[in-house]
Amino acid sequence: MGENKKLMLAGEWYIADDEELGADSRRREELCRVFNTATDPERRQAALREMLGSVGEGVGIRPPFQCDYGSYISIGARTFVNFNAVFLDAAPITVGADVQIGSNVQLLTPTHELDTERRRAGWEKALPITIGDNVWLGGGVIVCPGVTIGADTVVGAGSVVTKDLPSGVLAVGSPARVIRRLAGTVEA
């Protein structure tokens, strides 16, 4: 593994335009193409399992689906991902079991430099995203770098999650804010 990739996976600043990362991305491009265009469900599932780091039993992802590398994504059993999901996995993305992900949801681990010269030079870093078990992300939700969403939480459609959310809450808005605890959940 090259130094640039090590920096990326460690959450440090790295240059995204790198030969090794480019090769990983080309691998993902081909697997996404197969997944998104295959009409045979077995071929589609095989591409998904080859592309992603880990796929639990009964996972359903509706195409089209896009990701950066795929190999840094782990999805738990019985999770459902609706149309047009974008998982940018320059850092690990961990999705628990029994998660419902609405259409047009974006899980975005990369962030870019605020300094104009470093941004122009291509510096970025990525922070992991973790989605707990039994979470529901409504349509169009955006989850920003470094965010953890606790188990049993619901995030309303169109929300932008910029900070961690605890377990068992309803959060909405941009930025997403907790508006209440959900019935049947216990405070962590």
What residue spans define the domains of the chain?
Answer: 3-181
Q: Specify the fold of 3-181.
A: UDP N-Acetylglucosamine Acyltransferase; domain 1 (2.160.10)
Distance CA 5, CA 9 (A): 6
**What is the pLDDT at residue 166?**
98
- Encode pLDDT of 153-187 as tens digits: 999 999 999 999 999 999 999 999 999 999 877 66
How does the average pLDDT of the chain come out, rounded? 95
> In terms of pTM, does the model score above 0.85?
yes
| Catalytic residue annotation | 112
For the chain, which residues score pLDDT lower than 50? none
